[in-house]
Amino acid sequence: MNLEQDPMHNATKRTWAIGASQDCAAAPTAIDARASMPWLSDVGDAAVRLAATMPEPLRKILRALPPQPPSFVLARLLDRVLLPRLDSPARAAWSGRVVQLDLDDLGLRLRMRLDARGFGVAPAGASPAVTVRSTSAALWRLVRGVDDADRLFFERALVMEGDTEFGLLLKNTLDAIGPLWR
């Protein structure tokens, strides 16, 4: 389904906390996204519980698996809850840049990039512009708006490495959008 056919996608004006009014896809609020996928909260909560109790041998197995399948799942989810909320300048700035997410407690490495079709799995040989390291619990708190990125950064529960300017752009854009899931 392309964005024009997606009932959750519509363009409106929105004022961001970091700046002036910009054209922004005012997509669904976090509550709308949850209403369309109520099972995802349960899956997220279960993943956090699983990560907290996962034995090290199972983590080693997860680390050895290819990153493409979980990256694909994350890309589809971002297409649904984040892409409709990104304005044109943010999409242009993010386009083609690889973001890597390392979930240390699960042993997962997720790699994605944004292109004209939406979020997708980043090519295996592409270097990440930014790598974000976190635990699934800290990331889940961030996505739900329980904690903000600054707090998690200061607590070292969220670590960003790579292109500082691009990392700051990601953070500020996500801060301006607000929680992706409630």
Amino acid at 66: P
Global pTM value? 0.71
What fold, for 29-177?
Nonspecific Lipid-transfer Protein; Chain A (3.30.1050)
The closest of 62, 134, 58, 78 to 101, measured between CA atoms, is 134
CB environment 74-111: b (16+ within 10 A), e (fewer): bbebbbbbbbbbbbeebbebbeebbbbbbbbbbbbbbb
pLDDT tens, N- to C-terminus, the chain (182 residues): 443 443 333 333 222 232 333 334 444 444 444 555 666 667 777 777 777 788 888 888 888 888 899 999 999 999 998 999 999 999 999 999 999 999 988 888 999 999 999 999 999 899 999 999 999 889 888 888 888 888 998 999 999 999 999 999 999 998 888 887 76
Separation of alpha carbons 173 and 50, rounded Å: 30
Radius of gyration of the chain (CA): 16
Task: Report yes or no: 103 and 51 within 8 Å, Cβ to Cβ.
Answer: yes
Separation of alpha carbons 12 and 136, rounded Å: 33
Separation of alpha carbons 32 and 34, rounded Å: 5
Task: Report yes or no: 147 and 138 within 8 Å, Cβ to Cβ.
Answer: yes
φ, ψ for residue 160, nearest 5 deg: -120, 130
109: DSSP letter: E
